[in-house]
Structure formats: structure tokens, C-alpha cells
Amino acid sequence: MQPTASISHYGPYLWYAAGLLLTLCLGAWFTPRAWWRRPNARALAVLVGGTALVGALLQGLFGAPAGVQAAAHHGNTPLAGERYRVRDDLNLRAAVGVNAARLAVVPAGTEVIATGRRQGDWWQLSVELDGQRQQGWASSLWLRQRHEGH
């Protein structure tokens, strides 16, 4: 079952759509009527330029701050405290990369917790193994959300 996209996912497109509508209104009000009687390069330039400028202005003024957008969860971004299941046996490493020292092997099916730190496809994870909590880095390609099957 695919998650439905939230309205924030379409945010930039909505600002530029509003920019297009505002450009049409302003263009009709402030430009000569002859420009709009038949398609021409000036009318196209007004629409494209106005949509880009007004859309960017609206997004800058009313869009979510950059920090809020970066913190939004998009399925491939780990949220601190979110739990995942390991698909196959997984190497927990001391640092990012396959050449980093291996701290432990996390068995398939084990539940891990994302710390929220990420470098590309590598996520920092916390896991309890043999009664001890360990933290390290692992490839997110081997993780599944808890409700997903293996």
C-alpha cells in the first residue's frame, strides 16, 4: 500500500500555480490588450517570467522555512526514534562505508532504531544485541519499516 502524498509534497508547485494565476491577472491589468489578442513572444515572456518571479516570491514569503522542510519525513529519511526491521543479516559499522570496522552483525528480523543521522544511504542506528545497546552505521537499503514484510 503506497502512502498518499501530503499537500506539503506539492508545495512548490502550488506556489508557482498561484504565481501563474497572479501573473495572468496582473498581466491583464497592466499590459496593453493587443498583447493578449493573439499569442506572441512578449505575452509568453510575461507569463513565464511573471510566473517564475511571483511563484518564487510567494514561496519565499509563505513557504515552510528550510529547517522545517529538511525535517519532513519522506520515506527515505530517518526520523530519530523511528523503528525499522532488518531485511537480511546486516553489518553494523563504526563509521560510514563498507571499509569501516564492523561492530556487530544484526540478524535478519531484528528491530533497530534510527538516530536521525544520515550520510547518503548510510543511517546511524541503535540496536539491542545480547542485552547491550549498540550504536553504529548501516546501509539503509537493508531496512524495512516495521509494518513491511521481509
Q: Each residue of 18-42: pLDDT tens digit?
A: 888 888 888 888 877 777 777 788 7
Q: What is the pLDDT of residue 76?
A: 59
Q: What is the pLDDT of residue 37?
A: 76
Give the residue with greater pLDDT, 67 vs 91. Answer: 91
Task: Tell which phi-psi region holds residue 124, choosing left (phi > 0), alpha (psi between -120 and 50) or beta.
Answer: beta
Q: Each residue of 113-139: pLDDT tens digit?
A: 999 898 988 999 999 999 999 999 998
Q: Grid coordinates in use for 89? A: 543479516
Q: Do 113 and 82 form a contact (C-beta atoms < 8 A)?
A: yes
Cβ-in-10-Å burial (0-12, 13-18, 19+) of 100 comes to: middle
Q: What is the pLDDT of residue 113?
A: 92
Q: What is the pTM of this model?
A: 0.49
Q: What is the pLDDT of residue 1?
A: 38
